[in-house]
Structure 1
Amino acid sequence: MVNAPVFPGGTSVSQLRVYDWPAADAPGGSGTPHLHTTSTEAYVVLAGRGRVETLGPEGFASHDLAPGRIVWFSPGVIHRAVNDGGLEVLVVMSNAGLPEAGDAVMTFPSPVLAETAAYRQAAALPEPSDGSMPEGGPAAELAEDAAVAAAARARRDLALEGYAALCADVEAAGPGQLEPLYAAAARLVHGRAERWREVWTTTSARTVSETDGALDALARDVPADAVAHLMGGRVAAADARPGPRRYGMCGRLRVWSTR
């Protein structure tokens, strides 16, 4: 059996409507601050206005978001989406499968990060009553899945508490203040790394290997090698609306299947 082609670059794509839940410094709404331990993330703005705040080894920055704007950030950069009105983005993630498997760590206060069980409890969301989220607007979603929404908002607020402390520490003493968070993040995901390698091998690593083989075939002055490479072409398709939205870290999320 021939393997289906991997989505370009071994990436994943999802559609995100940033939460409209107000925060103290974001009346239009805010997502949950978090970082990724292995994956680079990109925001391609589809609609609305807002910003993404980043906090990392280069310090704090705020990046305006408007349709057509693209912002991306690598592992270790804490990011927080802020909604100034109708903010919707296409999220492109490297290493498809790893972000979905727990690659992200939220910026909970230090005592929560220090205990794996406490972190897992704070990060967990209950199952929706019917396993789905309705297609209506925010009011319908919240009314249908009040328990899930309340838990998602509570973990957002807890992460904002830790994020505010981190911002203050970095402003006062520099990016070195992020090292305890990074150490906690590494500890929290440590047990998953080998399983992630298996996923990575079939996505990003596979695309690198295939490209390497293609370049070898095309570089050799042997037409049959190039023909054999091109005869291996395959097509795959996925439904861009595969199912109901769910509550993600930064908003109401629809993940598009690329595997």
Structure 2
Amino acid sequence: MVTHAGPPGSVAVSHLRVYDWPAADGLRGGTPHLHLTCTEGYVVTGGSGAVQTLTASGFLQTPLSAGALVWFTPGTIHRLINDDGLRLVVLMQNSGLPEAGDAVLTLPPRHLTDPDTYRAATALPLDSPERTQELAARTRRDLAVEGFLALRAATEAGDPAPLAAFHRAAAALVRPKLPAWRERWQRGAAAASAATGEQLDHLAEGDATYLAQAAVRAEQPAAYGRFGMCGRLDVYPAV
């Protein structure tokens, strides 16, 4: 029988305190980016702000306040805006893949030419003092905002070419990672779906013996205050 020990549907969870650093356009918030294979959701637990999104259909700004639930599919460029202490629970498809590689920041095209160039512009010095990490996170955020504003301006002017070029560059950048992503999906979301199918088969046959394998698991975050793309993260262990 297929077993799956992870969270429901292999959805990962983290707590997020959105950055309050001002950007070039005067707004405070996180780093614009998209995911290529994962849907992501936000449950607002406190404060207020907004999420700006950009797709081929155009630009949208969705207000966020306590209790709001917003989610978006792969290809949605999203940027969190922090008006007043914005805090979220982030729900991530595919065992947390959005925070484990399935993200491309909206950097200007000169930084998207190849994986090494992109990595040089986005990597954080995790073994460095916190102030050094913060400076690196803020620098890459500002670069991504620069690229995002250019993509938004072109899209709103009726020119789809820059956004399409960004999509192509993002796909090329992540291509070397795809075997590892596929393995994560197979042992996570695919296994969870297969397990449900087998449970339905057992129930259809009047067999409830698998219920004796029930288990409970409780966890605390494995890390607190990690610098993420959109803010400071409290993250749970990857399953």
**TM value normalised by structure 1:** 0.87
Whether contact under 8 Å (1:36, 1:104) holds in the other structure is yes
| Pairing partner for 1:237 from 209, 218, 221 | 218
- The corresponding residue for 1:116 is 115
Q: Is the 8 A contact 2:222 2:237 kept in 1?
A: yes
Tell me the SS of whatever aligns to 2:94. coil
Q: Offset at 1:114? A: 1.6
* Deviation digits for residues 23-81 of structure 1 (CA, Å, limit 9, x no counterpart): 13344x21000000111100100000000000012211000000000110011000000
1:157 partnered with 2:142? yes
What percentage of residue pairs aligned between the two structures are identical? 48
Matches for 1:97-246 after TM superposition, within 5 Å: 97-129=96-128, 145-175=130-160, 177-220=162-205, 223=206, 225=207, 227-239=208-220, 241-246=221-226
* RMSD (Å) for aligned C-alpha atoms: 1.7
SS, match of residue 125 in structure 1? coil
Residues 45-54 or 248-257, more deviating: 248-257
Is the 1:156–1:249 contact (alpha carbons within 8 Å) kept by the matching residues of 2? yes
Q: State the distance in 1 between where 2:109 and 2:24 align.
A: 21
Name 2:29's counterpart in structure 1.
30
> Do residues 255 (structure 1) and 214 (structure 2) align?
no
Work out whether residues 57 and 176 of structure 1, in 8 Å CA contact, stay in contact via their aligned partners in 2: no
Aligned structure 1 segments of 4 or more residues deviating by more than 6 angstroms: none
CA contact (8 A) 1:49 1:87 kept: yes
- AA aligned to 1:36 is H
Query: 1:128 deviation in Å?
Result: 4.1
Match of 2:91 in 1: 92
Q: How many residues align?
A: 238
The letter of the residue matching 1:24 is A
Equivalent in the alignment of 1:66? 65
Q: Which amino acid aligns with 2:209?
A: A
**Bigger CA drift: 17-26 or 159-168?**
17-26
8 Å CA contact 2:53–2:59 kept in 1: the answer is yes
- The one-letter code matched in structure 1 to 2:233 is L
- Measure, in 2, the Cα distance between the counterparts of 1:77 and 1:237: 32
Q: Distance in 1 between matches of 2:127 and 2:171?
A: 30
Hey, what's the Cα distance between the residues in 1 that align with 2:194 and 2:183? 15
Cα separation, 2, equivalents of 1:125 and 1:250: 14
In the alignment, the residues of structure 1 paired with residue 127 and residue 83 of structure 2 have an alpha-carbon distance, to the nearest angstrom, of 28
How far apart in 1 are the matches of 2:223 and 2:143? Answer: 29
Partner of 1:141: none
CA contact (8 A) 2:51 2:79 kept: yes
Q: Does the 8 Å contact 2:3/2:192 carry over to 1?
A: no
In structure 2, stretches of 5+ residues that fail to align are: none
* Preserved CA contact (<8 Å) 1:107 1:162: yes
SS at match of 1:96: helix
